[in-house]
Structure 1
Amino acid sequence: MRRILDFLNDVSLRAYVRLQVFAAQEPVRLRASLTSLVLALAFFLPSLASADIADHIVTVGMVALPILVGESARRKVAPTE
């Protein structure tokens, strides 16, 4: 059991460090991803209650839009060191 806990601790620490490096190197992409995640939770979860296909299409559009705008803005921003 101890080996499993050590493995899970190691994986979580590696993921945390990779997230920190990603946030330092790609802040625009991280903000776009977090915005899309919040929009996905705000729009997709309530739309599951209804069977209306228009809600699902709007949800996909609203989640994809920040990612597309973030990628466009990322090209215009100088990379950080």
Structure 2
Amino acid sequence: MKTFFRDLSIRAYVWLQIFAMQEPVRLRAALTSAVLALGVLVPALASQETAHTVGGVLAVVLPIVVGESARRRVTPADEE
């Protein structure tokens, strides 16, 4: 069982390195969204305020959308 988890963690690490080299814009958008989700959504869920939750969702979705549009602009034309 220990070997399985070690193998799984090594595979995830290698996959993340490959993904970071191939998709840096998408990775930055995902990391930004994760930080915003932790910083905005978790406290908003504790207080149950709708405005905070809606604002948090928008703050998390916006970097993903912007990251995807930026990725399309920097991706070579032959990769369509």
Where does structure 1 differ by over 3 angstroms across 4 or more consecutive aligned residues? none
Supply the distance in 1 between the matched residues of 2:60 and 2:24 (Cα, whole angstroms). 18
Q: Aligned residue pairs: how many? A: 76
User: Greater relative contact order: 1 or 2 (C-alpha under 8 angstroms, separation 6 or more)?
Assistant: 1
Identity %: 59
Q: Is 1:64 paired with 2:61? A: yes
Q: What is the match of residue 39 of structure 1? A: 36
Q: Is 1:28 paired with 2:25? A: yes
Supply the distance in 1 between the matched residues of 2:62 and 2:75 (Cα, whole angstroms). 22
Q: What is the match of residue 19 of structure 1? A: 16
Residue segments in structure 2 that go unaligned for 5+ positions in a row:
none
Q: What is the TM-score normalised by the length of structure 1?
A: 0.89
User: After the TM superposition, which of the residue ranges 5-14 and 48-57 deviates more from structure 2?
Assistant: 48-57
Q: What is the TM-score normalised by the length of structure 2?
A: 0.90
Residue segments in structure 1 that go unaligned for 5+ positions in a row:
none
